[in-house]
Chains A and B, each alone.
Chain A
Amino acid sequence: MTADTWDLVASSIGPLLSGAVRGTIPLTLISFVIGLVLALVVALARLSRRRVVSGLARAYISLIRGTPLLVQLFIIFYALPSLGLVIDPFPSAVVAFSLNVGGYAAETIRAAILSVPKGQWEAAATIGLDHTLTLRRVVLPQALRVAVPPLSNTFISLVKDTSLASTIMVTELLRKAQEIAAPTYEFMTLYVLAAVIYWLICLVLSAGQSRLERRLDRFVAH
């Protein structure tokens, strides 16, 4: 590599990191949190005994899982304006990613809730807990332990999926790399640099995932 390349790396690293810190990371965090709340609601709806409620949840999950994320993103950003609904790039991306996480994580959470033995629901009922308290105090804490590994994978995937937001002009990590690369034609340097930063973020998250899993495992026999 030439000295010029190193100069380019040195001068690009700042803007790229800023793209990660101001675009990729907040986009991921906000979308994941909203997506999880949505997923919990959808999972509970899916488990509902009312046909209409569980049917709606099922349709939503099917729609999200059966269509490409990029298409979902384009519909929200490029197609909704024709219906008079114009949303800025960043919030558009948040909506698309939240809906996407909501669909995928709903199935994870549903499976985790179903993994809690029926006897736990019964024991909760015999000590007088109602449905809501049973979920909050007994079932969800146990389901969480089961759900954390797959949800962590969803989270890490989301970090990388946010790069799709570059296509709707959200200034995140990949978009920054494109902007710097375009006038100089230094695509290799910039995209490799972007890849390294994504990788580092995911490494940190994987380490966090392991710690969280160990913490949640403390009440289980090994």
Chain B
Amino acid sequence: MTSDATTGDATSPDAGRPLVEVHGLTKSFGDLHVLRGIDLSVDRGSVTVLIGPSGSGKTTLLRCLNSLEVPEAGTVRVDDVELDLARRPTRGELKRLRATSGMVFQSHQLFPHRTALQNVTEGPVFAQRRPVAQATAEATALLAKVGLADKADAYPHELSGGQQQRVGIARALALRPRLLLFDEPTSALDPETVGEVLAVMRDLAAEGWTMVVVTHEIRFARQVADHVVFMDDGVVVEEGRPDDVLGDPRQERTRRFLQRILDPL
């Protein structure tokens, strides 16, 4: 099912086409219109950071990219999997879209009854039906890559917040996804462990992974992002290169938001 293309592959015929395209996306929860016509495009091998006040719809947008939320209208395309909400999607279509990406949650959501290694091999072995030995070898390498080679047999509760989140990243990578989604990966962490998680994410960006990141880490966005999207009230207010959107925002709403975040007092 999932191809071996783990990173942006420059030789593929689709290389010129964005990996992710979203058009006219809307989503409400009851009377609350969370997304009100979103367009988004994510290039292969690029890092897109979504910023905005809470309630702006950025997390919902991220969750529409892997169909954890099903939008009401619009289209979502990730690589060759397209979801057109003109008609009700089938469960199989939602699953196919979901299989294109790996996700890292704000509250890690590791499986507490499985060791770090088992958390990482769970998807490859039980969902993707890959050979156990191969999945274990790959998971061991991934844990080493996020700096947790010695924690393979630890249960999540034995790990610090930053370590848990790095296992979460390894678990997402083990799926060999085409896209990595991060939902505020450092918001629930103690300040001193934020850096180790951001460092892993920076390394992944350097390796050419396509990433969409919801975060309040403005410094990370400036240093690592290729594209920054500022959302407010269910719409994209402003987007562009980090230096422009974060350094010299055109919109008043963007400016006010950045001021509040960078100088809370």
Q: What is A's interface to B at a CB cutoff of 8 Å?
A: 117, 119-120, 122-130, 133, 137-138, 141-142, 145, 218-221
The answer to whether A127 touches B171, judged by C-beta atoms less than 8 angstroms apart, is yes
Given A142-B112, A219-B155, A220-B112, A126 contacting B102 (CB threshold 8 A): yes
Residues of B with Cβ closer than 8 Å to A?
A: 66, 68, 95, 98-99, 101-103, 105, 107, 109-114, 122-123, 126-128, 155-157, 171-172, 175
> Is B98 within 8 A of A220, CB to CB?
no
Contact of B105 among A122, A128, A141, A220 (CB under 8 A): A122
A104 to B105, CA, bound (A): 36
Q: How far is the CA of A105 from the CA of B66 in the complex (A)?
A: 36
> Is A119 touching B105 in the complex (CB atoms < 8 A)?
yes
Q: How far is the CB of A127 from chain B (nearest CB, A)?
A: 3
Q: A122-B109, A123-B111, A127-B175 are in contact. Are A220 and B126 (CB under 8 A)?
A: no
Q: How many angstroms from the CA of A142 to the CA of B109 in the assembled complex?
A: 13
State the main secondary structure of chain A at its contact with B.
Answer: helix
Q: Are A128 and B175 CB-contacts (below 8 A) given A133-B127, A220-B157?
A: yes
Q: Is the CB of A120 within 8 A of B111?
A: yes
Q: Which 8 A/B pairs are nearest by Cβ-Cβ distance?
A: A128-B127, A127-B123, A221-B157, A123-B109, A126-B103, A119-B109, A219-B155, A219-B113
Once the chains bind, are B105 and A142 in contact (CB under 8 Å)? no
Task: Give the residues in chain B near A124, CB-CB below 8 Å.
Answer: 111
Known: A122-B68, A129-B123. 5 other contacts (CB 8 A): A123-B109, A126-B103, A137-B122, A142-B111, A142-B113
Alpha-carbon distance between A123 and B102 when the two chains are bound, in angstroms: 10
Q: Within the assembled complex, what's the spacing in Å between the Cα atoms of A162 and B66?
A: 52
How near does chain B come to A181, taking the closest CB pair, in angstroms? 50
Interchain CA distance A120-B113 in the complex, whole Å: 11
Query: In the docked arrangement, what's the CA distance between A69 and B194, Å?
Result: 58
Check B68–A126 contact: CB distance below 8 A.
Answer: yes
Contact status A120-B157, CB under 8 Å: no
A127 x B109 contact (CB < 8 A): no
CA distance A129 to B175 in the complex (A): 12
Cross-chain contact B113 with A141 (CB below 8 angstroms): yes
Selected from B66, B111, B114, B155, the residue in CB contact (under 8 A) with A126 is B66
Partner of B109, one of A120, A128, A129: A120
